[in-house]
């Protein structure tokens, strides 16, 4: 289907229904879907189970989803569906081929969380190098008040200047992480498909082996593909420094969680920081949740109010553009 010549087949009949299958994570209690409600009849669900997705989306021409999967089976049972808006940048929750066969437009929201995710990378990193949360809690418990000296520390404290960060994937977020690292005075290496002579000044292109073996900090920002699934595993961990800090704000399955947990226990790497896990929410027995040198946050790097406001604004603009015959951010 040629996007430039696209005309929704239901125009002239009136839009019957827009359904948001899982809107809570985007709007929570501080943002509103009001602007979407001005476009048509809208049904907004905080959460939708796989079993109830078809029933809730039935009769809708437009469906918005964040994590509710719309595969070939689901699409086949929604004959009126003409548009799927993914409330995220990644769109692996939709069977794109099945959608194309039905001439269903699929859109996403690109680059809305770049600043917030890059900020989270350094929130994790500074948690380890400066231990601010650790000392703040100690002093709530009265530790400093009992100190014989004007200061105290019982952990190592690390300066980032001069250290090397290896960035796997140099898209929008990876590039922003690189720029922040340079501002800290760090040396930056990147595993990227971009030609070396096109990289910004002071970003050195590296292969995986060189990046792993020379980096003090490794930050993952590549997409999840067959080639990158379990990119970090027992074999690649062996190439890393025992003092290395591994950070993953990309996808949980970029690492083998069992191998990383074993490496943390054995001291083969110093720390693992992650905002994503292979299964979300995780099972209670996931070993990464209990290890003292694993720092896990609950997939919140994207969730600053500013980033969610950008996501919401673009998602609604995508719907408007579709209704106006000019789809944007199509995938």
Report the phi/psi class of residue 213: left, alpha or beta, with left for phi > 0 and alpha for psi in -120 to 50. Answer: alpha
Burial label for 242, CB within 10 Å (0-12, 13-18, 19+), is exposed
Strands (E) across the chain are located at: 18-20, 42-44, 62-65, 83-86, 105-107, 164-168, 187-191, 203-205, 217-220, 245-248, 271-274, 294-296
Element (H, E) at 140: helix 132-140
* Residues 82, 325 contacting (CB under 8 angstroms): no
Decide if 97 is catalytic: no
Decide if 280 is catalytic: yes
Decide if 251 is catalytic: yes
Which residue is catalytic, options 82, 251, 308, 310?
251
Q: For the CA atoms of 16, 62, 113, 222, what is the dihedral angle to 10 degrees?
A: 180
Sign of CA dihedral 190, 194, 196, 200: negative
Which residue is catalytic, options 35, 280, 305, 326?
280
Which residue is catalytic, options 131, 230, 299, 313?
299
**Any idea which residues carry the catalytic annotation?**
251, 280, 299
């Amino acid at each position: 289907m040629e996007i430039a010549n696209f005309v929704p087949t239901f125009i002239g009949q009136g839009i019957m229904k827009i359904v948001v299958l899982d809107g809570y994570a985007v709007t929570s209690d501080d943002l509103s879907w009001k602007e979407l409600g001005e476009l048509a009849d809208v049904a907004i669900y905080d959460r939708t189970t796989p079993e109830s997705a078809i029933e809730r989306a039935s009769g809708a021409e437009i469906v918005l989803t964040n994590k509710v999967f719309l595969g070939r089976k689901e699409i086949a049972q929604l004959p009126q569906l003409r548009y799927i808006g993914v409330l995220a940048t990644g769109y692996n929750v939709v069977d794109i081929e099945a959608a194309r066969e039905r001439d269903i437009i699929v859109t996403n929201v690109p680059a809305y969380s770049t600043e917030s995710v890059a900020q989270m990378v350094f929130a994790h990193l500074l948690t380890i190098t400066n231990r601010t949360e650790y000392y703040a809690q100690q002093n709530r418990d009265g530790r400093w008040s009992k100190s014989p000296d004007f200061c105290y520390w019982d952990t190592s404290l690390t300066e980032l200047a001069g250290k090397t960060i290896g960035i796997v994937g140099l898209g929008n977020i990876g590039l922003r992480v690189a720029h922040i690292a340079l501002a800290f005075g760090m040396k930056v290496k990147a595993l990227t498909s971009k030609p070396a002579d096109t990289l910004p000044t002071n970003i050195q292109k590296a292969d995986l082996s060189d990046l792993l073996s020379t980096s003090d900090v490794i930050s993952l920002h590549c997409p999840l593909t067959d080639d990158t699934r379990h990119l970090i595993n027992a074999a690649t961990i062996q190439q890393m420094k025992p003092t290395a800090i591994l950070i993953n704000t990309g996808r949980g399955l970029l690492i083998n969680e069992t191998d990383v947990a074993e490496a943390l226990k054995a001291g083969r790497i110093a720390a693992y920081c992650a905002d994503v896990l292979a299964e979300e929410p995780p099972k209670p027995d996931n070993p990464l949740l209990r290890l003292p040198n694993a720092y896990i946050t609950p997939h919140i790097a994207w969730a600053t109010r500013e980033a969610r406001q950008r996501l919401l604004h673009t998602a609604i603009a995508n719907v408007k553009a579709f209704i106006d015959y000019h789809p944007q951010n199509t995938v």
